[in-house]
Chains A and B, each alone.
Chain A
Amino acid sequence: MSDRRPSFNSATYALSHLRHDLFRSTTIVITLGLTIAFILLTSSLLFGLVNEISGTDEKASILEGRIPGSLSMFEEFRLTGNELSEDSKSALVNYLLVTSTIVFAVALFIMFNTMSIAVQERRSEIGVLRSVGFSSKEVMKIFLTEGAVIGTISFLGALFLGTPFIVNLAAYLIDRGESGIFFVQPVIPLQLVVIIGALTITLTVSTTYLAIRKNLGVDPVEMLRPSG
């Protein structure tokens, strides 16, 4: 019967722990997931905007049709559609960089705090792993895998639950003729998805690294000692 058992490795270890500590894992995943969904939302709308107004002045007038006054706003800068598009692109990049950095920084700060508390609470677990012969690298691997799993779940959640939500909401509001931010059809380029995914996982793993790092140089005996 034991032969049917799936192999036990750091990923299954991480999943077992996330399941066991469901409240905390859910909190982290939701915080991160919302952050990523927000970034996907804003950037998809911006990409949508660029897509709609690229190319011709006619498109710019379509925009004016959707949002009255928008053309005069751009005219202030006396831009043609093409120039507008170029300018929008660089504005888009800047906007994305700034908002993504701020939003990610807040989410990661929350995640770092949560992980630091979690690691403190799991000091004796680290002590046990060290006492049964794990090297610091192996302990690190377990925790970093957990960070990567959290990042992946949050990202996939945001992508597969958040994205359809964004697209449907936008379609619904455009159909109803609502203006506001949803005047464009959102566009989510694959590159953007890949970049945000890679960024999420890199950042969750490095946050976990920062939270665990200082606990690895400590003697196992110290880690096993009940705190307080």
Chain B
Amino acid sequence: MPDRPLIETVDLVKTYRVGSSTVKALDHFSIDIEEGEMVAIMGPSGSGKTSLLNLIGALDRPDSGTVRVKNVEIDRLGEEQRARFRKHNIGFIFQFFNLIPSLTAIENVLVPIMFEKEKPTRKAADLLERVGLGDRFDHLPGMLSGGERQRVAIARALINDPLIILADEPTGNIDSETAREIVSLFKELNDEGKTLVLATHDRLVAGRAKVMVKIRDGRMVRGKAHSRDGMMSLSPKEGGGREK
């Protein structure tokens, strides 16, 4: 069997009910993401970026279609199996940081491994130092700036050494200087072999990604890859979103 891409979505459909109407967040959306890629998903609000990340990250289930990650059809897994899958394979970074307000920075980083027998506190400390928060271990999120909170969230996402990092508008709530630092950190992680999928409005973020995918009304409008060697085109998959 030929090597499959690390992340593969086929014909994803996801709808939400908003009041009495139904909104189609993803409309037969298909994409392949190879291991080690850094992909920026761009599009206006409500275009389906977050829905896509939620499906890839096993946080949600599609109405139809398949999400395959590491050769596992995660849409077929039960709720508890999906939780286990997230724990070992996915690191999430959210727009609003989603830290636990009552826990200190280092405790927030340790949360994902709280119930493990071995709690590598040293690793959590190293991660916080790596993201530049070596002097903020015992600070509560409320005492940290937006950029610092996002860095705690990044350290938390890395504690389990996941293969894939999913970031939803990671620079949406921080100043541009901090955003630049965070994007550099993403690039560094990508250079180390992590696969990153970033949903963003931010051109700065998208500009550093190897692959940029544009999405509108739940369909892929344009997929293109840019690297130092020049621009490469990345076509939407067969049956996927078509150019409008």
Contact = CB atoms under 8 A, between A and B. Distances in A.
Contacts of B92: 131-132
Nearest to A141: B115
A110 interface: no
Contact of B86 (A13, A16, A133, A138): A133
Interface residues of B, number: 39
Nearest to B85: A133
A2 B102 contact: no
Q: For chain A, what secondary structure do more than half of its interface residues adopt (helix, strand, loop), or is it mixed? A: helix
Contacts of A217: 79
Instruction: Give the interface size bracket for A toward B.
Output: 20 to 34
Nearest to A223: B59
A120 B98 CA distance: 16
B107 A131 contact: no
A8 B122 contact: no
Contact of B114 (A2, A8, A221): A8
Contacts of B101: 20, 125
Contacts of A8: 107, 110, 114, 119, 121
B103 to A, nearest CB: 6
A128 B83 contact: no
Contacts of A124: 98
Interface string A109-143: 00000000000000011011111111110100100
11 contacts: A20-B140, A125-B100, A132-B112, A133-B85, A135-B83, A219-B59, A219-B60, A219-B79, A220-B59, A221-B59, A224-B94
Interface of A: 1-3, 5, 7-10, 12-13, 16-17, 19-21, 124-125, 127-136, 138, 141, 217, 219-221, 224
